[in-house]
Structure 1
Amino acid sequence: MDFATPIGIGVALVAIMVSMIMDGGNPASLIAPSSMLLIFGGTIGVTMATVRLKDMSMLIGGIKSAMLAKAPVAEESIADLVKYAEVARKEGLLVLESAAKDIEDPFMKKGLQMVVDGSDPEVIRMILEGDIDSMKARHKAAGKIFKDMGGYAPTIGILGTVMGLVHVLQNLSNPSTLGPAISAAFTATLWGVMTANVIWLPIEGKLHRMGELEVKAKQLTLDGILAIQEGSAPRIVEQQLLTYLAPKDREALEAAKAASKKKAA
């Protein structure tokens, strides 16, 4: 699991609260139910108006994905594909049918099953690239929801502040209430800006990054499957797939393999 997003949001909120205390403020003054209702309810409502009702089901899923994200591990995919390349090289492609039954990754399982079925390489590429494009579209739709919320929240906050100031102007005859009323009015703007920049936009950014990593992982798998079908040597398959890793990751993987061989010897 990658907990960078919840940790980052937590650090940002703590920094905001501590800085407020250092300036002599009271964080409890930010707990304004009316402002929070306006910001969260208004932002979700306006965002809902821009998409299909079905699309809003991605709101909870997107938050969960960002908070508890599990990035695909390219090294594991490479190891699996090289193993299948060795099996196919020694025993033939048909042997992969039994191996494919135990594969947890649906994308890899689907690709290897098509290889076993003798599908044309171009057909395999077309179908799997179609799956990748569909995944990109889903990620884009989920990211758009949070990006829109990040754009609407500050404006809803300004609306709340204007509403509060209207209330202030209606009660000028009572000077003792002006200070708290003005403070409450600006709380809406604070919540709008804070939720946009501390919650919604960071989540959108995390989903975008996780989408990039998943696309890269599936593209790696696609290339490995096609290389296996072509009958490439396992070593060639491995070298081809290692190009997807950063140089330092390649070095770490090679070091781990060398250490494993040394231990086995």
Structure 2
Amino acid sequence: MDILSIIGVLIGTCALLFGNFLEGLQLSSLVNGPAFIIVFGGTVGATLLQFPPLVFIRSLEMFLWVFLPKPMNFREQIDKIVRWSILARKEGLLGLEDEIDEETDPFTQKALQLLVDGNESEEIRDILELEMNTKEAFDLQAAKMYDAMGGYAPTIGMLAAVMGLIHVMENLSEPKLLGAGIATAFVATVYGVGSANLIFLPIASKLKTYVYANTQSKEMITEGITSIAEGENPRNIKLKLEGYLQDADVKLQ
């Protein structure tokens, strides 16, 4: 559970509502059905037009990372790779065959399988880097969907505001209808700017952070597996992989 995400949502929401209260406005003043439909419906529609179905589906799957990020323990992974290197020295690469079934991560399973099959280190690196880079590009595209929503929401909010003002201008002769039109105009702007800066853009940035962290984890696994293939000393492998720890700790721990 990402506590900071929950705290961020609570602080942002409470700040908005409490500030509204201090201004002497009621909560109902921020509730406007037409404005909500125009802003969020328009934002979703524009987003669906921009992104293909697979990217849209992936972005919905990744949304869970905001509150339930994929657990990653770099230290534990390093210890595991060092253990594999020691086992490979004692029993040969075939001694790692049983380790494949114990792994739940498909990327790690593939890396071990390539190693056990006796592939050269450069060939292993090329195959794993291709998959790693392709996966990173796809996930970053999915994360950018929320960037796009953060760009569309304020613009569509302004569009809704203009529509509200048009409604006001059409009813200048009927004062009773002016309030509703003006409310839709200003509340739509709040919805657009607020959702972009409190929801969509922060989500995009956090997802990108996790995508880069996932890539870094795969880079470490690739480096460890190719080092085993090259027959490096387990102690040297550990020292090499520990270079990933400082940056990983900042991002994930």
TM normalised by structure 2 equals: 0.92
Report the secondary structure of 1:244's partner residue: helix
Question: Which amino acid is 1:200 matched to?
Answer: F
Deviates more, 1:178-187 or 1:121-130: 178-187
Partners of 2:121 and 2:227 within 8 A in 1: no
Find the aligned partners of 1:26 and 1:71 in 2 and give their Cα distance. Answer: 42
Counterpart residue number, 2:165: 165
> Which residue does the alignment assign to 2:10?
10
Give per-residue Cα distances to partners, 1:170-225, cap 9 Å, x unaligned. Answer: 11122244334312221111101111111111111011100110111110111111
Q: Specify the code of the residue in structure 1 equivalent to 2:242.
A: L
Q: Give 2:26's aligned residue.
A: 26
Task: Give the match for residue 101 of structure 2.
Answer: 101
Task: Name the CA distance, whole Å, in 2 between partners of 1:53 and 1:114.
Answer: 32
C-alpha contact 1:38 1:160 (8 A) present in aligned 2: yes
Alignment-mate amino acid for residue 240 of structure 2: Q
* Residue equivalent to 1:222: 222
Query: Counterpart in 2 of 1:114?
Result: 114
The 4+ residue runs of structure 1 with deviation greater than 3 A are: none
Aligned residue number for residue 255 of structure 1: none
Q: Matched residue of 1:245: which SS?
A: helix
Secondary structure of residue in 1 paired with 2:83: helix
Change (3 A) 1:132 1:59: closer
- Indicate how the Cα distance of structure 1 residues 248 and 208 shifts in structure 2: closer, same or farther if over 3 A, else same: closer
Q: What is aligned with 1:231?
A: 231
Q: Provide the rounded CA distance (Å) in 1 between the counterparts of 2:62 and 2:37.
A: 21
Task: Check if 1:124 corresponds to 2:104.
Answer: no
Shift of 1:248: 11
Name the counterpart of 2:193: 193
Query: Are the counterparts in 2 of residues 5 and 206 from structure 1 also a CA contact under 8 Å?
Result: no
Deviations 1:101-138 (A, max 9, x none): 11122212211111111011111001000111111111
After TM superposition, list the pairs within 5 Å mapping 1:132-211 onto structure 2. Answer: 132-211=132-211
Unaligned runs of 5+ in 1: 250-265
Q: What secondary structure sits across from 1:10 in the alignment?
A: helix
Q: Deviations over 1:14-67 (max 9, x none)?
A: 111111111211122212121111111100101111222333223421322223
The amino acid across from 2:36 in the alignment is M
2:172 aligned counterpart, secondary structure: coil
Q: Which residue of 2 aligns with 1:260?
A: none
Shift of 1:71: 4.5
Q: Is the 8 A contact 1:36 1:188 kept in 2?
A: yes
Q: CA deviation at 1:167?
A: 0.8
- Is contact 2:74-2:248 (8 Å) kept? no
2:74 aligned partner: 74
TM-score, normalised with respect to structure 1: 0.88
CA separation of 1:12 and 1:127: change in aligned 2, threshold 3 A:
same
Amino acid at match of 2:188: A
Runs (5+) with no aligned partner, structure 2: none
Bigger shift: 186-195 or 91-100?
91-100
Amino acid paired to 1:100: I
- Name 1:44's counterpart in structure 2: 44
Q: Is the 8 A contact 1:71 1:213 kept in 2?
A: no
Question: How far apart, CA to CA, are the structure 1 residues paired with 2:130 and 2:3?
Answer: 31
Structure 1 residue 212 and structure 2 residue 186: aligned? no
Distance 1:136 1:171 in 2: 53
- Count matched residues: 249
